[in-house]
Amino acid sequence: GGGGAPADDAKSAEPVNWTANSVWPPENHQSAGLQEFANKVKEATNGQVEITVQTGGALGFKGPELLKVVRDGLVPVSDILTSGVAGDEPVFGVVTLPFLIQNFEEGKILNEIARPYFDKVAEEKWNQKILYISPWPAAGIWSKEKIESVEDMRGLKTRTYDKNGALVMEAVGGTPYPLPFSEVYSSLATGVIDSVLTSTPTAVDAKFWEVLKYYAPINVTMATDLVTVNLDEFNKLDEETREALIAAGKEMEEEMWAKVAELDKQKEAECNENGIETVQPSQEFLNELSSITKDIREEWLKQAPPEAKEIVSEFLKQVGRQ
């Protein structure tokens, strides 16, 4: 890109005002992160690029459509739940593979391996640039009864949010219910369901301690969010501003990954203080979960795009599991 210097000057004379979309509540770490990113960008570009963050789905978008929304420039910048758009772009489904990663470090490795593939598909197929990828704490199981083994999971009625979560509950002998989030709380209170697969920030958002007692951090998956910018909008900026944006994204990404482990601990502590007991899973339990869900991962890989296969095999090589 680039172009001549005079053209660039002409471009940069006009300050840019972007709207950024987040479907999460304003206090959620992803929304807060997006706001912080907006602040960083404003500072780094001397107010040249001003980003207004709209949280809580105020712009009327829900999630699965966001790849198209940014592609078409309906909002120039958006936070996108990576697994949420796997229905549009199957390679993003790699982060939904259950029990692929065993801890936070492995999540980071998986993300690093996947990043170039994600960048490529986002730019070439979906007309957008990934500014940063920001993690969620890994999902565990929140329940009314103590869960210490696969045996304990038999017969659970669990709220799941996607296909692979549902398959996991099937595999352990429970029943998955893909309820909308707005009905989770009352369904737990009345007993339609008795457990939820999710991560600590969501547990805090929904005040699970009022309706649930136990949390087993079994690391089912570790979700991530992509923060992307429409490529046309991005390319309208001059070289210097573009680089400032990329630098701010990089900084933000490091911050978010550095913070997430602490955030997880802090949110878990908040749950504990309010009466939820954390039940650390034994290695045996984790191994059993991993082996019982092996078919799910293999089945997924069979129909996955070649890029996803490359990512997974490279990941398994790096963490020493084949």
Partner 1 sequence: MSLFIISFTLLGLLILLLGSSIWVGITLFLVGIAGFTLFTGSPPLTILSNILWNSTSGSTMMALPLFIFMGEILFRSKISENLFKGLSPWVNNLPGRLVHVNIVASALFAAVSGSSAATTATVGKITLPELLKRNYNKSLCLGSLAGAGSLGFLIPPSIVMLVYGIMSGVSIGKLFIAGIVPGVILAASFSLYAAMRCVFKPELAPRGEDNYTWSDRMKTLPLLLPVIILIVLVLGSIYTGWATPTEAAAVGVLGALFFAWISRSMDRKVFWEAVLGAIKTSCMIMLIVCGASFLSVAVGYLGIPAKLTTFIGELGLSKYQLIMILSIMYIILGCMLDGFSMIVMSLPLALPLITAAGFDPLWFGIYLVIMIEVSQITPPVGFNLFVINGLVEENIFRIARYALPSFVIMFLVVALITAFPQIVLTLPNMMIR
Partner 2 sequence: MELLVRLCDRLSHACGMVAGLMMLVGLALILVEIVIRTLFSMTLYITEEYTGYIMVAITFLALAYTLKEKGHIRMIFLHTVLKGRARVALDIYAFAVGLALSALITMTTFQFFWDSVVSQSRSMQISETYLAIPQFFMPFGAFVLTLQFAAELGRSLLRLRTGVVGEEEVESGALGR
* 14 counts as binding partner 1 under rule CB under 8 A: no
For residue 209, the tally of other CB atoms under 10 A from its CB is 18
**Which does residue 155 touch among partner 2, partner 1, none (CB within 5 to 8 A, set by kind)?**
partner 2
* 25 counts as binding partner 1 under rule CB under 8 A: yes
Among 8, 119, 205, 314, binds partner 1 (CB under 8 A): 205
Judged by CB, which is closer to partner 1: 205, or 288?
A: 205
Query: Quick one: tokens of 300?
Result: 């997924």
Exposed, middle or buried: residue 251 (CB in 10 Å: 0-12, 13-18, 19+)? middle
Judged by CB, which is closer to partner 2: 192, or 292?
A: 192
Query: Quick one: tokens of 189?
Result: 């209170």
x/- map, 164-203, partner 2, by CB under 8 A: --xx-------xxxxxx-----------x-----------
Instruction: State how far the Cα of 206 lies from the Cα of 183, in Å rounded to an integer.
Output: 11
**Which does residue 115 touch among partner 2, partner 1, none (CB within 5 to 8 A, set by kind)?**
none
Query: Quick one: tokens of 9?
Result: 């000057």
* 273 counts as binding partner 1 under rule CB under 8 A: no
129 in the Ramachandran plot: left (φ > 0), alpha (ψ -120 to 50) or beta?
beta
Instruction: State how far the Cα of 155 lies from the Cα of 153, in Å rounded to an integer.
Output: 6
Contact indicator for 123, 177 with CB cutoff of 8 Å: no
Footprint of partner 1 on this chain (CB under 8 A)?
19, 25-27, 52, 54-62, 65, 69, 72-75, 179-183, 185-187, 189-192, 205-207, 210-211
Footprint of partner 2 on this chain (CB under 8 A)?
64, 68, 83-84, 86-89, 155, 157, 161-163, 166-167, 175-180, 192
